[in-house]
Amino acid sequence: MAEEPKIVDKNPLVQEMEPGEYWWCACGRSSGQPFCDGSHKGTGIEPVQVKIDQKKRVPWCQCKHTKTPPFCDGTHADLP
């Protein structure tokens, strides 16, 4: 059974992203938020692969409870 993800922040991290492939940290344990550094090993939580085709601003979810991973959907507003 997977562990619960750790909440990094209750606000999204908005970044200007270049085209490329990224791995979003879904567990909240990575020291390189919002991206995976392998800290999820043993948690049962896997990172999410993201392909960005053109330069754009991205609202990365930091609460790790979004229903639209890896992007913020406002779920953080309902967390305790």
pLDDT of amino acid 2: 79
Please check whether residue 35 is in contact with residue 62, taking contact to mean a CB–CB distance below 8 angstroms: no
Tokens read off for 32: 């390189």
Looking up tokens 């200007």 gives 16
What three-state secondary structure class fits 48?
A: strand
What percentage of the chain exceeds 70 in pLDDT? 99
Domain ranges, ordered by start, for the chain: 13-78
**Mean pLDDT, residues 11-16 taken together:** 98
For 22, 27, 33, 34, 65, the CA distances from 54, given in Å and listed in that order, are 13, 26, 21, 19, 26
- Residues 71 and 17: their CA atoms lie apart, in Å, by 13
pLDDT in tens, 25-52: 999 999 999 999 999 999 999 999 999 9
